[in-house]
Chains A and B, each alone.
Chain A
Amino acid sequence: MRFGASRSQLYDAQKTARARWESAAEAWNDASRQDFEEHVWVPLDAQVSDVLRAIDQLSVLFTQVRQDCEFNP
């Protein structure tokens, strides 16, 4: 129930991919790039951001669970 490692992995991967996309987009400026951007890159980036937010919510949820349930007689 420690989501930090997976979150960091996802966050770092997204950050790297965004930088790589910027570089690629500079060398690629035709209709196929627009199509790729619209149908692959933008939805992928948005969904990764959604999952990052969802992981944050999971962390909050499990912090509450830990506080409520931890065995400390």
Chain B
Amino acid sequence: MPDGADVASIEALRDWLAALAVYRDGVGEALAGVQIEIRRGLEWVSEQAALWQRAVRDCEEEVTQRKAELAAKKFPTWDGKMPDTTIEVRNLRRAQARLEHAEEQVRKCKSWLGRLPKLIEECYTLHGHRLQLFLEGDLARGMAVLDRRIDALERYAGLKTDYSSGPSAIPPPAPEGPK
């Protein structure tokens, strides 16, 4: 690698710096988008848990009602025969099955709500956070160094006659989205 500057096209470096700024902003937006979806996901599980909890209450009422219907049928008729309770028994079993299913769903939702934050942290948060820090630190510094180097090359090549330190050519970062 040569010690001195070996740049065939200063314009290509300027283009690269501009492309890097676009890349930085795009990556930042994508990271913010992922954070929004994670938050939505957690809220969604809470909403499902509430819906299933309401379903449990509805099912409990239905079981109570079906038990009452069955109990009402267990008295002998006027001729001493026991009435057929097949339908009532079947209805009660179905209601009990629905109640068990809803209770199981509440347990599942609560289990996920308890485990999700740690699982998200393990599979994503560390990587996302590290990249965000890189964008704000190493990348920002690298772009500033590159910007100064391009300035120096332009002066050396006589492309830039103004030696005063003007505004940076690096486009400012896009407004930061929600994290």
Contact = CB atoms under 8 A, between A and B. Distances in A.
A51 B31 contact: yes
B142 A58 contact: no
B70 interface: no
Chain B contact residues (Cβ within 8 angstroms of A): what range? 35 or more
Interface residues of A, number: 47
B34 A58 contact: yes
A58 B1 contact: no
A14 B52 CA distance: 42
Given A9-B26, A65-B41, A20 B16 contact: yes
Main secondary structure of the interface of A (DSSP, over half): helix
Contact of B5 (A6, A32, A40, A51): A32
A71 B48 CA distance: 6
12 contacts: A1-B38, A3-B34, A20-B23, A29-B2, A31-B1, A31-B3, A36-B146, A39-B142, A44-B138, A47-B134, A48-B131, A50-B127
